């Protein structure tokens, strides 16, 4: 079975992501996108970190890499062509919520993810922190 890559105009994605959603969601955009990312993660579960990285590629969200793992968290970097990533204009709460829920599901501990834009390095840093005292039910 062969798989074909279907391309679509980037403009259509940008219309929805950068103009329509902020207009609809208003001042609650960041919170809603974070929870929407968590919901997406539940609909598209990843059983390990390589699958999270692969999902980002498949979704066209960019190149996600695991930079560091600690006992209670992870640091990921997201890079892509600056024109596609649009670091200056876009928030990355959808992606943060997605990562948080995947890590929570994989490790079984309550997890939150925070994003930081590094405009000069043309990347977004996602810091995931797990609460090792808060086990979540599978």
Q: What pLDDT digit, counting tens, does each position of 16-75 carry?
A: 888 899 999 999 999 999 999 999 999 999 999 999 999 999 998 999 999 999 999 999
Q: What is the architecture of the domain spanning 10-135? A: 2-Layer Sandwich (3.30)
Torsion sign, CA atoms 135, 115, 123, 54 = positive
DSSP H helices, 26-75, are: 29-43, 49-59
Question: Does the pLDDT of residue 15 top 90, yes or no?
Answer: no
- Looking at residue 134, its pLDDT comes to 94
Give 11's pLDDT tier (boundaries 50, 70, 90).
confident
- φ and ψ at residue 129, rounded to 5 degrees: -120, 130
* Sequence-separated (6 or more) residues with CB below 8 Å from residue 10: 84
pTM of the predicted model, to two decimals?
A: 0.90
| Distance between CA atoms of residues 83 and 109, nearest Å | 36
């Amino acid at each position: 079975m062969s798989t074909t890559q279907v391309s679509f105009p980037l403009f259509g994605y940008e219309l929805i992501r950068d103009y329509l959603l902020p207009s609809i969601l208003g001042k609650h955009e960041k919170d809603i996108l974070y929870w929407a990312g968590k919901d997406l993660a539940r609909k598209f579960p990843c059983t390990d970190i390589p699958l999270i990285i692969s999902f980002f590629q498949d979704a066209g969200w960019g190149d996600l890499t695991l930079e560091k793992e600690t006992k209670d968290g992870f640091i990921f970097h997201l890079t892509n062509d600056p024109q596609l990533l649009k670091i200056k204009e876009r928030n990355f709460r959808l992606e943060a919520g997605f990562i948080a829920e995947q890590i929570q599901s994989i490790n079984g501990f309550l997890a939150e993810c925070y994003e930081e834009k590094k405009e000069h390095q043309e990347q977004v840093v996602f810091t995931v922190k797990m609460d090792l005292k808060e086990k979540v039910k599978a």
